[in-house]
Amino acid sequence: MDAAFSRLVPVVSGASGHPVTRTWHLLDNGDRLAELGVTPVGTVLCVHGNPTWSYLWREFVTAATDAAANGGEAWRVIAVDQLEMGYSERSGARRPLAMRVRDLGELTDTLGLSGPVVTFGHDWGGSISLGWALDHPELLAGVMLLNTAVHQPEDAPVPAPLRLALRSSVLGRGTVATPAFLETTLALAHPPLPTAVKQAYRAPYRGAARRGGIGAFVADIPVPDAHESAAELARISGGIRDLVVPALMLWGPTDPIFSDRYLDDLLDRLPHADVHRFEGAGHLVMEDVDYAAAALTWLGDRGLPADASAGGVPVPVESARSAGHSRPERAHSGARGEGEGEGEGEGGWAAAGQYPLWHYLDELQNSDETALIDMAPPGGGAPRVVSWRLLSRRVRQLACGLDRLGVRKGDRVSLLIPPGADLTAVLYACVRIGAIVVVADAGLGLRGLTRAVRGARPDHVIGAAPGLLAARALDWPGQKISVARFPRAAMRALDISATLAELIALGVDEELPPPPEPGDTAAVLFTSGSTGPAKGVVYTHGQLAAVSHALYAQYGVGRGTGLVAGFAPFALLGPALGARSVTPDMDVTKPKTLTAASVAAAVAAIDATVVFLSPAALANVVTTADSLTAADHASLAGVECFLSAGAPVSEPLLAAAARLMPAASAHTPYGMTEGLLMADITLDGIREALATRPLTDPTSALSSVGSAVASSTPTDVPAGPGGVCVGRATATTRIRTSALDARGRATGELSEVAGVTGEIVVSAPHVEDHYDRLWLTDRAARRGAVPGERWHRTGDVGHLDTAGRLWVEGRLPHVITTAAGVLTPVGPEQRVESVAAVARAAVVGIGPAGTQQVVVVVETVTPARRVALADPELAAAVRAAAGLPLAAVLVVPHLPTDIRHNSKIDRTRLGRWAGGILSGARMTRP
């Protein structure tokens, strides 16, 4: 920490009735800004908690000063040491919460602080800074918070570490007599703090005489209602509901003290706040991640203080929303309004020119035609056939039952139900009443699913037995509702409040609440987690309606279509399209469990004309085709269209599937959770693209900066940027690329120029609304967007060809930055996979960015029994096919893949592993 920022300030306090001078220590970059000759646009007032001090803000003070020195926006940063803490005076006086808020006000008065001011608080400094904010509306321009709390939720106990510290037998000894409380706090960093940083945090608290403030701070936690600080905390927690200035929350979700339930409480009070949860970060979030850059970016984006209200006076909620803040989701009102009753209340939808997801459930409520079939219903037995009449009635009854149980518009409902009739009925019941469905694929695994559910903070969880058992064991939030009935003891043990049968009974003869509008939030859908922790993708009702319209417009999937959906998202869209749909007999978390016979049975059961399968499922269907009977082949011959998406699909695989469904048009759409249908290509289109791809020198696979490719490299291999052709943009989609720079970053302007490799950027009505509680990620996804238009950065890299077709070359995090230029992995992988002995290949980079070495890791046709360097003959063939200088060729028994599609190679993990192997680590499997 730069000692030049450190200063002591004497402050005259009259709180006791007798003026007394107290000395404060603080960090202040004001003098440095003056030396630079810049005038600050405002002040950020930083307030620490317990048992830290202003040192925790050192990165922010430095970053703000550096930004000003480099011509950026200049913010004065004042980071205080509260009295009795850090290097401020030890007066020995008790300082309850209200006094600490007054103390801070006396300091800012002494400093002559003028607006605009943005407060920044952590731990109990969050409550104190918000108290100051309420008392100084004429100065306030915004609030920023790290992990903190302003209220103890009624449904949760005080966190265990604080309960322990508050015990009379522990309080004095654990907080003052010994440094135990301080040391416990310092141990919460991820990764562990360096010794020098720990020593810095300890420096002002050496000796019991210096730690009195730590113990007093703990004792001031207002656990009982009669506590002297309870009233002040209530004033602050209630007052901030009207504090609609711009707000930012940067959160460490692994915090054992201020967990996500406190974030949820704060968002209920500040629903317009921007939020970013840093997965893996905890209580010391400021030490775990680069929070300073995030905060300064937010200040710049918000244009503070320019778009703050005059003098920081709170502005109306609608004005705050129009300035770009997130919309509040919850509306806990049970009142009914116009539009009650069946099929009514779609005025907002008509004005938007859209149909809501439940439209066909109303239109076909008296139809006995089949709506959906479960080929493998829960508990086994014959396929379960559900008519439109029954589905419509069940959705209505469940919707009314949920409403009577207290599930309201804007509530989040996590669905832990296997795909099938139950999941479909519950999902449509939730969206009909405006509840927000949270869908996380069980294929994420228990750890990933837990992270997703906790991060989404559902108010309710509806699940089958496995999901409810996990929810109970891992303390997932939300009221629990079971698909099936359990014995009474099990219901109590699992904390189940109701079953679907009970909801149906509650909903008989009840009236539906008003329907949601197109702009209301409908769902949070989690990504596969194949490129990092799964992200929650937020869709509005209008955007989901646009997804169904895109499917209808592209493939004609609609009224009368029979749809086999071996890919869960499209099974759930069947009723929205008016299509009869069937879920084949398979474990959806394991795509390779789908067989050709199961697909044929599903096609026959519903007279399907459209089949949608994931690439991994499709591969197993082709592999098990020998088991098909003549009747199975006859059923498959009636399919008119089949689609496979979720990962790149090779021409040989698509061709093999086409032979099983000879009358069908074979398609492979391109999309992602954030936009399910962006581009499309047929099998014939793939063949045409491959036939017309130019044959070029493989050295062009690298952005040439003096490539050192061996002269023996063959020149008749289609190299260039390579990749998988995914076709042209769909009818409502636009596609551009943002060119890569020498460091592999997508820095180019959005462009439709052919042959330029860059990040793929898309725009369509059915692109998601935003990422859930991931403000920084969402900002990155919109970067460089055309003003007035909504574009989404996909994280994929590729290029457009002269015919307007999109070629996908890999993922942005997998771009390799060599000394010769940037390299995308898919093209070289395709060339290596042309080697007869290679089943699959992964091309990864190891070493520092800009000088990375290229390594090829292969899975052989005859599976290897252990990890090894490739034998000389295989290595030579791989090197020749790759057309690149390679550091090594490694052979593994199996390449690691993502857990949802079981087909996307986890190149990030593989790169770390290969780097370790080539640095001398043991030859363990990746």
Whole-number percent of the chain with pLDDT over 90: 68
Return d(Cα 761, Cα 750) in angstroms, integer: 8
Helix (H) / strand (E) element for 600: namely: helix 596-606
Residue 346 is predicted with a pLDDT of 54
Residue spans in the chain of domains classed CATH 3.30.300.30? 825-918
Residue 721 is predicted with a pLDDT of 64
Q: Who has greater pLDDT, 906 or 622? A: 622
Average pLDDT of 709-725? 48
Average pLDDT in the chain: 87
Select 679-770+777-814's CATH number: 3.30.70.580, 3.30.70.360, 3.10.105.10, 2.30.38.10.
2.30.38.10
Structure-token pair, residue 490: 């099990």
Q: Which one-letter amino acid corresponds to residue 921?
A: A
Sign of CA dihedral 530, 534, 538, 542: positive
- Indicate the pLDDT class of residue 167, thresholds 50, 70 and 90: confident
Strands (E), 623-669: 641-644, 665-667
Residue 317 is predicted with a pLDDT of 36
Q: Are 253 and 190 in contact (CB under 8 A)?
A: no
Residue 155 is predicted with a pLDDT of 65
Over 60: is that where the pLDDT of 329 sits? no
Residue 446 is predicted with a pLDDT of 79
CATH topology of domain 825-918: GMP Synthetase; Chain A, domain 3 (3.30.300)
Angle between helices 97-111 and 124-135 (to 10 degrees): 60
At 798, give phi and psi (nearest 5°). 180, -165
Ranges 57-66, 145-154, 451-460, 534-543, most confident: 57-66
Average pLDDT of 399-414? 95
Return d(Cα 682, Cα 726) in angstroms, integer: 9
Residue 461 is predicted with a pLDDT of 94
- Indicate the pLDDT class of residue 174, thresholds 50, 70 and 90: confident
Return d(Cα 60, Cα 48) in angstroms, integer: 13
- Indicate the pLDDT class of residue 510, thresholds 50, 70 and 90: confident
CATH topology of domain 354-541: Rossmann fold (3.40.50)
Average pLDDT of 585-594? 78
Residue 352 is predicted with a pLDDT of 66
Ranges 389-393, 469-473, 651-655, most confident: 389-393
Average pLDDT of 678-686? 94
Order of strands, edge to edge, in the sheet holding 838-846? 838-846, 853-860, 888-892, 868-869
Average pLDDT of 180-206? 96
Residue 906 is predicted with a pLDDT of 81
Q: Who has greater pLDDT, 566 or 63? A: 63
Residue 715 is predicted with a pLDDT of 32
Q: Could you identify the residue written with the tokens 């207290």?
A: 406
Over 70: is that where the pLDDT of 896 sits? yes
Over 80: is that where the pLDDT of 676 sits? yes
Q: Give residues with Cβ within 8 angstroms of 726, minimum separation 6.
A: 648, 668, 669, 670, 679, 680, 681, 805, 806, 807, 808
Tens of pLDDT, residue by residue over 256-310, are 999 888 999 999 999 999 999 999 999 999 999 999 999 999 999 988 765 444 3
- Asked if the 3-153+227-322 domain carries CATH number 3.40.50.11900, the reply is no
Residue spans in the chain of domains classed CATH 3.40.50.980? 354-541
Tens of pLDDT, residue by residue over 530-554, are 667 889 999 999 999 999 999 999 9
Least confident interval from 148-162, 576-590, 649-663: 148-162
3-state secondary structure of 121: strand
3-state secondary structure of 523: strand
Over 60: is that where the pLDDT of 36 sits? yes
Q: Are 86 and 25 in contact (CB under 8 A)?
A: yes
Helix (H) / strand (E) element for 374: namely: strand 370-374
- Indicate the pLDDT class of residue 697, thresholds 50, 70 and 90: very low
pTM metric for this prediction? 0.87
Residue spans in the chain of domains classed CATH 2.30.38.10? 679-770+777-814
Average pLDDT of 464-480? 87
Buried b (16+ CB within 10 A) or exposed e, 570-595: bbbbbbbbbbbbbbbbbebbebbebb
- CA distances to 700, 756, 761, 797, 806 from 800, rounded to whole Å, are 16, 7, 11, 11, 5
**Of 264, 266, 262, which is closest to residue 243 (Cα–Cα)?**
266
Average pLDDT of 896-910? 68
Residue spans in the chain of domains classed CATH 3.40.50.1820? 3-153+227-322
Least confident interval from 215-224, 262-271, 521-530, 898-907: 898-907
